[in-house]
Amino acid sequence: MPWLTAMLLLATLLTGCTADPGPLDPDGLRPHLAVQLLLPGEFEPDAGESLRAELRFAGVPYEEAETATFVLWPEAQPDQAVTLPAQAQGEGVYTAASLLQEGLYRVQFRAETSDGDVMPMRRLAVGPAAIEALAALETSADESATEAATGGGHHHH
C-alpha cells in the first residue's frame, strides 16, 4: 500500500504544476495596460499644442482611469515640474493643452487605474534649437549603447 500512497502523492504534485496562465495576447503576454504617448512632431513655442495619450487594456481602449495627468518639466530640472489634468476624450484618449516656451522638456503621462498604474515618459523639443539639442542627445545615447554592446573598443586579455 505505500506505493499507492506514493503514486497518489506524485499524481497530485504533477497536476498542480499544470496551472492555466489565462489568455495571452499575440505576443504571448498576459493582458495589461499600455499607453502610447503621442506628442506633436513640431511643437511650436506658446502655441497651445495638445499633449495626447492613448490608454489601452489588452488592446481595447481603456476609459476607466481614476486619475490621468500630464507632468512636464524642463530637461534636468524636475523640481520645476508642472502637472496638467488630462481630459478624457473617449476611446481611451486623454489630452491636455500646454503653452511651452522654447526648450527641451520631459513629458510624463500618469494614469491610476484599478488594473494598475502607468507612467510613460518622453522628451519633447520645442523650437529649432531644442530639436537640435534633442537630436544630439539621441545620437550620443545611440553611440553609448553601441560602444557598450561592443565592449567600448577595449580588448580584455
The backbone region for 106, taken as left when phi is positive above 0, alpha when psi lies in -120 to 50, beta otherwise, is: beta
pLDDT in tens, 78-119: 999 999 999 999 999 999 988 888 999 999 999 998 888 999
Query: Which CATH number does the domain 31-147 belong to among 3.40.1190.20, 3.40.50.300, 2.60.40.10, 1.20.1730.10?
Result: 2.60.40.10
Global confidence as pTM = 0.70
Q: Which residue ranges make up each domain of the chain?
A: 31-147
Q: Quick one: pLDDT at residue 54?
A: 95
